[in-house]
Amino acid sequence: MGLDITVGGEVITFMWDYGVRVPLWGPFGLLPDDPRWLSAVLRLSDSLIEDLARWGDSMLDLDAAPSQRTQEAYERLDVRAQDLVQRLQTEVGSTYTVRYRPW
């Protein structure tokens, strides 16, 4: 993958979907989840990139285990998501507006 892909707008949406590991979307669809791209284009720190991927893995794990899908499990992930959205907004600064769309 080349690193020349851009967001294509001023808004990044944090929104999970089935099979998505790094839940960041631009106006034209899912953004690349390649850590090199996230670092070079969005200027995200390695620690935030890792935490975004961990959150996505947790959602994928929850999706794969119907017996674990409790209100409490989703609420815990929601709290983590809100923290990630705040960190994301801090790291992208005024370049982008970050929006959170819970599932």
The 3-state secondary structure of the chain reads CCCCCCCCCCEEEECCCCCCCCCEEECCEECCCCHHHHHHHCCCCHHHHHHHHHHHHHHHHHHHCHHHCCHHHHHHHHHHHHHHHHHHHHHHHHHCEEEECCC
Within-domain flag for 75: yes
Domain ranges, residue 93: 11-100
Within-domain flag for 34: yes
Within-domain flag for 80: yes
Residues of the chain with pLDDT under 50: 1
Within-domain flag for 5: no
Within-domain flag for 1: no
Give the pLDDT of residue 29: 93
The total number of structural domains that make up the chain: 1
Give the pLDDT of residue 1: 47
Within-domain flag for 57: yes
Within-domain flag for 83: yes
**pTM metric for this prediction:** 0.89
